[in-house]
Chain A
Amino acid sequence: MASRRAFLTAGVGASLALALGGGIYRATRPAPAQEPFALDGEARAALDAIVPVMLEGALRAGAANAAARAVVIGDVHRAILGLPLATQKEVQDLFGLLAIAPARRVLTGVTGPWSGASPAAIHIFLQDWRTSPFGALRAGYAALHDLILGAWYAAPASWGAIGYPGPPLAAAP
């Protein structure tokens, strides 16, 4: 598949591009480096496209999907804002990379804007990053994995489907 080859030929530049992507993204933003994480534009579009693929089989299809997706994105955003500022900057770099078109094409194989990316293409990108020879991409996958799946299963609305009854009521004040 073309997108997979494009990714694989990224070669040794991948980690460098990851660093550069974040740097460029930061440079194009007016905010200083210690500013809290911001989720807007293509970065938000990337997350909006990745969430249903990461949560396939958990997120219900249909009209409820868009609303549930918005809740997950809000929860992911909140979780990131709870991290130390230095870590928020690293996550900002990751989303910066996903937001910049050339970096997105080379490193994820997703050819057009995120809003038009097919679930199949995103699936391939996540699989590639998950077992990539480059530690920075594996770490990027792990961050998306933990942020999205963590936000989803933290929500009481997700517990019924997995048979978790929630905390015992006896001790609740």
Chain B
Amino acid sequence: MNMPLSDPVALGLARGWDVIDGAMLAADRTLDADVVIVGSGAGGGVTAEIMALSGLKVIIVEEGALKSSRDFKMREADAYPALYQESAARKTRDKAINILQGRTVGGSTTINWTSSFRTPASTLAFWRQRHGLDTYHDAALAPWFDLMEQRLGVADWHAPPNENNDLLRRGAAHLGIATGTIRRNVRGCWNLGYCGMGCPTNAKQSMLVTTIPSALDHGATLLTRVRAERLAIQGDRVQHVLCHALGSDGINPTGKTIVLRARHFVIAGGAINSPALLLRSSAPDPNYLLGRRTFLHPTLVSAGLFAQRVDGYAGAPQSVYSDHFLTRAPIDGPVGFMLEAPPIHPVLLATTLAGFGAAHAETMREFAHVHGLLALLRDGFHPDSTGGSVTVRDGAPALDYPFHASLWDGARRALLAMAEIQFAAGARSVQPAHEMAGPYTSWAQAKKGIAELEYRVHITRIVSAHVMGGCMMAGDPERGVVDPDGRYHALANLSVHDGAIFPTSIGANPQLSIYAIVARMASTLAASLTGRPAARPVAEA
């Protein structure tokens, strides 16, 4: 039963990787490198590998701890505090939107659900037309998608979908709504269903088991439980990054500091932390764009109860999607949404279900029969949909995310679409995640009820697992924080390489967009720093 699994992190540490745990730091330190990268998620990981393979000395700074398969026990009680920002309870300032975001080596790639989509052509077309991103053509990006898909094992998923995903497929089919199969970044996946708690078998090709190990094997240094506090800026150059070591709880600073000096600095802390670091550092922002246009794919949730067992905790968490409702209207028209099925785990379901007491307990007793659907609103395209803004309060990032009428309209249509699909798939009842909704026992009842609901923050449950924007790129320096290559407009040796650069949301799970776009940026940057073409990352045989 106990098949020994090799843990690439444990093996790497035994080989002598240069990893410094901030919690263990006994004295202040100053370190030098060619490139300092803040963040070890999708953007930081890809950048680190390309820089290290290209012969540059790299230091990676990660606020979270180094955890690996030997630590991943598939328990929410352990995973959320250890691997997520704010114990998986990060929220907008008004507490209306709960945001799932990683905080560990590998960032969100360590805990995401492996869904891999290329950036939709319609999104890229909008970027070219409205944001001056002339180099963002499908044909120009295709080789970078090819490269990163090969590197990270992104491929079609051939196992049958679990019942939770198949209900989306069957319900949609009844209504003539097309669905597709989600590609996944896995190799030798056991089809367990616990991707969100850290892959226990190292099948998920997250940064934790791919690019970060490769960078460390090529001489990179990794700092963990170390928070980048501020950039020291002089004229048009970043001089160093001042970092604070965190204690073994990962929360309280120990008082020890680390100063990191480099020729070039790459910010990749994710789309809330990256703009916050730049704001804390008073980075030049002549057009007041820092932290603006932050996008979440605000997500609506609907629970269907079925006579048969659904067992939504078991099997690949996301394998079926429908982009039907993204294609019904012009991209800048009524807000469209992507439909997917989320994994159903006890804490995730209990905290998302509206209500309390006996009614809540009654639904929870049907746990194994619950089918979940998600609708990801594609924000940032409708003229009113300008997203949220990140500011800094007492040094910590705060995100305001006003909900305009266009988003509420999308929310209502999304709850309707999900309920209709769930009833078409045979649901006995449907319970939208809304304090005043349902449960409804027929589509006719749900249609009337959902249309009449009150749409307000907190009353309508909104969640998010995708954070984008806040350091948007644009061709015109007056309209963007960074240029199309990710270079900070106002500083000579600073780049941003994560989801923060997107000028809109993606309209699909963003990890593969970050991998490919950052791979291109990092390769251009490595070439400019070395005077040679950048190295191409390849997966180990």
- B-contacting residues of A (Cβ < 8 Å)? 53-58, 79, 82-87, 123, 126, 130-131, 135, 138-139, 141-143, 145-146, 149-150, 152-155, 158-159, 161-164, 167-173
- Flag if A84 contacts B351 (CB, 8 Å): no
CA distance A17 to B531 in the complex (A): 62
B21 beta carbon closer than 8 Å to chain A? no
CA distance A38 to B160 in the complex (A): 49
CA distance A75 to B195 in the complex (A): 24
Nearest B-chain residue to A140, judged by Cβ: B95
7 A-B pairs with CB atoms under 8 Å apart are A53-B356, A86-B393, A138-B458, A168-B314, A171-B5, A171-B192, A172-B74
- Flag if A139 contacts B192 (CB, 8 Å): no
B81 beta carbon closer than 8 Å to chain A? yes
CA distance A141 to B249 in the complex (A): 27
- The interface residues of chain B lying within 8 Å CB-to-CB of A138 are 457-459
- Flag if A171 contacts B190 (CB, 8 Å): yes
- The interface residues of chain B lying within 8 Å CB-to-CB of A53 are 356-357
- Flag if B86 contacts A164 (CB, 8 Å): no
- Flag if A57 contacts B201 (CB, 8 Å): no
B405 beta carbon closer than 8 Å to chain A? no
- Flag if A162 contacts B458 (CB, 8 Å): no
* Main SS at interface, chain A: helix
Known: A86-B394, A149-B356, A170-B1. A56 touches B76 (CB 8 A): no
Known: A84-B396, A126-B356, A158-B346. A135 touches B458 (CB 8 A): yes
- The interface residues of chain A lying within 8 Å CB-to-CB of B200 are 171-172
Using a CB-CB cutoff of 8 Å, which residues 209-248 of chain B contact chain A?
none
- The interface residues of chain B lying within 8 Å CB-to-CB of A164 are 313, 346, 367-368
- The interface residues of chain B lying within 8 Å CB-to-CB of A158 are 346
B94 beta carbon closer than 8 Å to chain A? yes
CA distance A123 to B359 in the complex (A): 12
Using a CB-CB cutoff of 8 Å, which residues 80-96 of chain B contact chain A?
81, 86-87, 89, 94-96
- The interface residues of chain B lying within 8 Å CB-to-CB of A123 are 357
Q: Contacting B361 at CB < 8 Å: which of A57, A79, A141? A: A57
CA distance A163 to B312 in the complex (A): 12
Max chain B CB contacts within 10 Å: which of A126, A130, A170, A173?
A173
- Flag if A131 contacts B459 (CB, 8 Å): yes
- Flag if B1 contacts A162 (CB, 8 Å): no
Using a CB-CB cutoff of 8 Å, which residues 44-91 of chain B contact chain A?
70, 73-77, 81, 86-87, 89
- Flag if A139 contacts B94 (CB, 8 Å): yes
Known: A58-B361, A130-B435, A150-B350. A85 touches B252 (CB 8 A): yes
- The interface residues of chain A lying within 8 Å CB-to-CB of B364 are 58, 153, 161-162
Interface string of B332-349 (1 = CB under 8 A from A): 000000000000001101
State how many angstroms separate the Cβ of B82 from the closest Cβ of chain A: 9
Closest 7 CB pairs of A and B: A57-B361, A167-B74, A138-B458, A139-B95, A162-B367, A57-B358, A154-B77
- The interface residues of chain A lying within 8 Å CB-to-CB of B287 are none
- Flag if B251 contacts A155 (CB, 8 Å): no
- Flag if A149 contacts B436 (CB, 8 Å): no
CA distance A52 to B78 in the complex (A): 24
Nearest A-chain residue to B71, judged by Cβ: A173
B362 beta carbon closer than 8 Å to chain A? yes
B360 beta carbon closer than 8 Å to chain A? yes
- Flag if A84 contacts B77 (CB, 8 Å): no
B321 beta carbon closer than 8 Å to chain A? no
Seed contacts A83-B86, A170-B1; 18 additional CB < 8 Å A-B pairs: A56-B358, A58-B364, A79-B81, A79-B87, A85-B251, A87-B89, A126-B356, A130-B356, A138-B457, A139-B96, A143-B95, A152-B350, A161-B365, A162-B365, A167-B74, A168-B192, A170-B3, A171-B201
Nearest A-chain residue to B359, judged by Cβ: A57
Using a CB-CB cutoff of 8 Å, which residues 94-119 of chain B contact chain A?
94-96, 98
CA distance A142 to B347 in the complex (A): 14
CA distance A57 to B363 in the complex (A): 10
B295 beta carbon closer than 8 Å to chain A? no
- The interface residues of chain A lying within 8 Å CB-to-CB of B361 are 55-58
Q: Contacting A168 at CB < 8 Å: which of B74, B346, B393, B396? A: B74
Nearest A-chain residue to B200, judged by Cβ: A171
B194 beta carbon closer than 8 Å to chain A? yes
- The interface residues of chain B lying within 8 Å CB-to-CB of A170 are 1, 3, 190
Interface string of B176-208 (1 = CB under 8 A from A): 000000000000001010100000110000000
CA distance A82 to B362 in the complex (A): 29
Known: A85-B252, A162-B367. A135 touches B457 (CB 8 A): yes
- The interface residues of chain B lying within 8 Å CB-to-CB of A139 are 94-96, 458
Known: A138-B458, A169-B1. A149 touches B396 (CB 8 A): no
- The interface residues of chain A lying within 8 Å CB-to-CB of B86 are 83-84, 87
B2 beta carbon closer than 8 Å to chain A? yes
- The interface residues of chain A lying within 8 Å CB-to-CB of B201 are 171
- The interface residues of chain B lying within 8 Å CB-to-CB of A167 are 73-75, 194
- Flag if B347 contacts A57 (CB, 8 Å): no
- Flag if B95 contacts A82 (CB, 8 Å): no
CA distance A145 to B74 in the complex (A): 23
- Flag if A153 contacts B74 (CB, 8 Å): no
Using a CB-CB cutoff of 8 Å, which residues 353-396 of chain B contact chain A?
353, 355-362, 364-365, 367-368, 393-394, 396
- The interface residues of chain A lying within 8 Å CB-to-CB of B87 are 79, 82-83
Known: A54-B357, A167-B73. A135 touches B94 (CB 8 A): yes
Known: A56-B358, A167-B75, A173-B70. A149 touches B2 (CB 8 A): no
- Flag if B347 contacts A150 (CB, 8 Å): yes
Known: A54-B356, A85-B252, A154-B77. A142 touches B458 (CB 8 A): yes
State how many angstroms separate the Cβ of B452 from the closest Cβ of chain A: 15
- Flag if A163 contacts B356 (CB, 8 Å): no
CA distance A145 to B357 in the complex (A): 10
Q: Contacting B356 at CB < 8 Å: which of A145, A150, A171, A172? A: A145
Nearest B-chain residue to A144, judged by Cβ: B356
- Flag if B77 contacts A155 (CB, 8 Å): yes
